[in-house]
Amino acid sequence: DLSFAIYKRSHAEGPWVPFQYYSASCEKTYGKPQRHYLRPGEDEQVAFCTDEFSDISPLSGGNVAFSTLEGRPSAYNFDGSPALQEWVTVTDLLISLNRLNTFGDDIFKDPKV
């Protein structure tokens, strides 16, 4: 499966913070459960992990889109949530490709092909 992570910085020279994880094996690859929402009271500045975009298609020209607020309880009170305002503040993005699909992986079940 394809696994990649998106990290963000909120301030120039600030630390890289996990923003979103993609993997069919979230727990194994990133140590994160696969989830798409938070319960009220949970830390809203936490990256989700999803299996979306983790297969071999499209082969090229694909897009990855995600909502920075979806699944976060304070999204409906964004103006009153400094935590979410900070969460969506981004100066830089870093995409880390951790596991890549190849035809060998998908068709022949052989990662060496």
The Cα–Cα gap between 102 and 38 comes to 33
Give the containing element (helix H, strand E) for 99.
Answer: strand 92-99
pLDDT (0 to 100) of residue 56: 61
| Average of per-residue pLDDT across 23-32 | 90
The Cα–Cα gap between 97 and 103 comes to 17
- In degrees and rounded to multiples of 5, residue 18 shows phi and psi of -60, 135
Domains of the chain, start order: 3-108 (2.60.120.260)
| Confidence band for 64, pLDDT divided at 50, 70 and 90 | confident
pTM > 0.85: yes or no = no
pLDDT (0 to 100) of residue 61: 67
Residue 26 has pLDDT above 60, yes or no: yes
Residue 8 has pLDDT above 80, yes or no: yes
pLDDT tens across 65-112, in order?
Answer: 788 999 999 999 999 999 999 999 999 999 998 876 555 555 556 555
Task: Tell me which of 6 and 35 has the higher pLDDT.
Answer: 6
Residue 57 has pLDDT above 80, yes or no: no
pLDDT (0 to 100) of residue 76: 92
pLDDT (0 to 100) of residue 109: 60
